Structure 1
Amino acid sequence: MKIGRFGKTDDDLRFQEVVEGNAYQLADKTLEILDKKFLVSPITYQGLQRVENWEYPYEAIREVILNAIVHRDYIGAPIQISVYDDKLMVWNEGSLPDDLTFEDLKKKHSSRPHNPVLAGTFFKGGLIEAWGRGTIKIINECKKAGLPEPIIESASGGISITIQKSITDKNKHIEKNLNHRQNRAIEYLDENNTITNKIYQELCEVSKATATRDLSELVEKYQLLERIGDVGAGTTYKLIGS
Structure 2
Amino acid sequence: MNENELTGLLESLRRMGSDDLNVEVKESATTLSRDVWETVSAFANTAGGIIVLGVSERAGLVPVENFETEKVLNQFVSGMGDAGGRGKLANPPKYTIERVELQGTVVLVITIEELDPSSKPCYVIERGAQGGSYKRIDDKDVPLSSTEVLALASYGRATPSDRDAVAGAGADNLDETLVDRTIDRAFSLTPRAMRGAPDKQTKLERLNILDSQGNVTKAGLLVVGTYPQQFYPKLFIDVAVHAGTQKGMAGSLRFMDRTICEGTLGEMISDAVAAVAKNLRRTSTVQGVSRVDSLEIPEEVLREAIANAVIHREYGDRFCGQSIAVDVFDDRVEVTNPGGLYGGKTRENLFDGSSRCRNATLVKLMSIVPLPDGAGSPAEGNGSGIPMMIDVMRAHGLAEPLFCPGFDRFKVVLYRSKIEPVDHGGGLIVTALKHYGELGTRELAEHTGLTISQVRSRVNALIAQGELEPTAPATSRNRKYRLSERVG
Question: Which residue is equivalent to 2:449?
Answer: none
TM-score w.r.t. length of structure 2: 0.32
- Which of 78-87 and 131-140 deviates more? 131-140
The one-letter code sitting in structure 1 at the alignment partner of 2:241 is R
Q: Kindly indicate whether the alpha-carbon contact (under 8 Å) linking 1:81 and 1:89 is maintained by their aligned counterparts in 2.
A: yes
Q: Kindly indicate whether the alpha-carbon contact (under 8 Å) linking 2:276 and 2:328 is maintained by their aligned counterparts in 1.
A: no
SS in 2 for 1:42: strand
Question: Which has the larger Rg?
Answer: 2
Question: Which residue is equivalent to 2:272?
Answer: 30
SS in 2 for 1:88: strand
Kindly, what percent of the aligned residue pairs are identical?
27
Answer yes or no: is 1:14 the counterpart of 2:256. Answer: yes
Q: Kindly indicate whether the alpha-carbon contact (under 8 Å) linking 1:76 and 1:93 is maintained by their aligned counterparts in 2.
A: no
Question: Which residue is equivalent to 1:91?
Answer: 336
* Residues 99/155 of structure 1: CA separation in 2 closer, same or farther (3 Å cut): closer
Question: Which residue is equivalent to 1:66?
Answer: 307
SS in 1 for 2:335: strand
CA distance in 1, matches of 2:343, 2:247: 30
SS in 1 for 2:390: helix
SS in 2 for 1:162: strand
SS in 2 for 1:38: coil
CA distance in 2, matches of 1:49, 1:130: 35
* Residues 105/154 of structure 1: CA separation in 2 closer, same or farther (3 Å cut): closer
The one-letter code sitting in structure 1 at the alignment partner of 2:415 is Q
Answer yes or no: is 1:133 the counterpart of 2:384. Answer: yes
The one-letter code sitting in structure 2 at the alignment partner of 1:4 is A
SS in 2 for 1:30: helix
* Residues 109/156 of structure 1: CA separation in 2 closer, same or farther (3 Å cut): closer
Question: Which residue is equivalent to 2:239?
Answer: 3
CA distance in 2, matches of 1:33, 1:18: 9
Q: Residue by residue, what CA displacement relative to the aligned partner does 1:118-168 show, whole Å, maximum 9, x if unpaired? A: 21012224432211221111111111111111111135841100011343x
- Compute the displacement of 1:49 (Å): 5.0
Aligned residues: 168
- Compute the displacement of 1:69 (Å): 1.0
SS in 2 for 1:123: helix
* Residues 59/105 of structure 1: CA separation in 2 closer, same or farther (3 Å cut): same
- Compute the displacement of 1:59 (Å): 1.0
The one-letter code sitting in structure 1 at the alignment partner of 2:259 is E
Where in structure 1 are there 5+ consecutive unaligned residues?
Answer: 176-242
Q: Residue by residue, what CA displacement relative to the aligned partner does 1:57-110 show, whole Å, maximum 9, x if unpaired? A: 111111111111111224141110011111111000111126321231212113
Q: Kindly indicate whether the alpha-carbon contact (under 8 Å) linking 1:2 and 1:81 is maintained by their aligned counterparts in 2.
A: yes
* Residues 140/46 of structure 1: CA separation in 2 closer, same or farther (3 Å cut): closer
SS in 2 for 1:81: strand
CA distance in 1, matches of 2:299, 2:245: 22
Question: Which residue is equivalent to 1:220?
Answer: none
CA distance in 2, matches of 1:165, 1:55: 6
Residue in structure 2 matching 1:121, options 326, 346, 365: 365
- After TM superposition, list the pairs within 5 Å mapping 1:136-151 onto structure 2: 136-151=387-402
- Which of 155-164 and 142-151 deviates more? 155-164
Between the two structures, name the one with larger relative contact order (CA 8 Å, sep ≥ 6). 1
CA distance in 2, matches of 1:24, 1:139: 23
CA distance in 1, matches of 2:321, 2:387: 26
Q: Kindly indicate whether the alpha-carbon contact (under 8 Å) linking 1:107 and 1:133 is maintained by their aligned counterparts in 2.
A: no
* Residues 156/54 of structure 1: CA separation in 2 closer, same or farther (3 Å cut): farther
CA distance in 1, matches of 2:406, 2:247: 14
Q: Kindly indicate whether the alpha-carbon contact (under 8 Å) linking 1:109 and 1:131 is maintained by their aligned counterparts in 2.
A: yes
The one-letter code sitting in structure 1 at the alignment partner of 2:336 is W
The one-letter code sitting in structure 2 at the alignment partner of 1:22 is T
TM-score w.r.t. length of structure 1: 0.62
Q: Kindly indicate whether the alpha-carbon contact (under 8 Å) linking 1:147 and 1:165 is maintained by their aligned counterparts in 2.
A: yes
Q: Kindly indicate whether the alpha-carbon contact (under 8 Å) linking 1:88 and 1:163 is maintained by their aligned counterparts in 2.
A: yes
- After TM superposition, list the pairs within 5 Å mapping 1:39-58 onto structure 2: 39-46=280-287, 49-58=290-299
* Residues 76/137 of structure 1: CA separation in 2 closer, same or farther (3 Å cut): farther
Q: Residue by residue, what CA displacement relative to the aligned partner does 1:32-55 show, whole Å, maximum 9, x if unpaired? A: 2222x3222223445785432112
Answer yes or no: is 1:152 the counterpart of 2:403. Answer: yes
SS in 2 for 1:53: strand
- Compute the displacement of 1:14 (Å): 2.1
Question: Which residue is equivalent to 2:461?
Answer: none
Q: Kindly indicate whether the alpha-carbon contact (under 8 Å) linking 1:39 and 1:55 is maintained by their aligned counterparts in 2.
A: yes
* Residues 57/103 of structure 1: CA separation in 2 closer, same or farther (3 Å cut): farther
SS in 1 for 2:336: strand
Where in structure 2 are there 5+ consecutive unaligned residues?
Answer: 1-236, 250-254, 370-376, 422-488
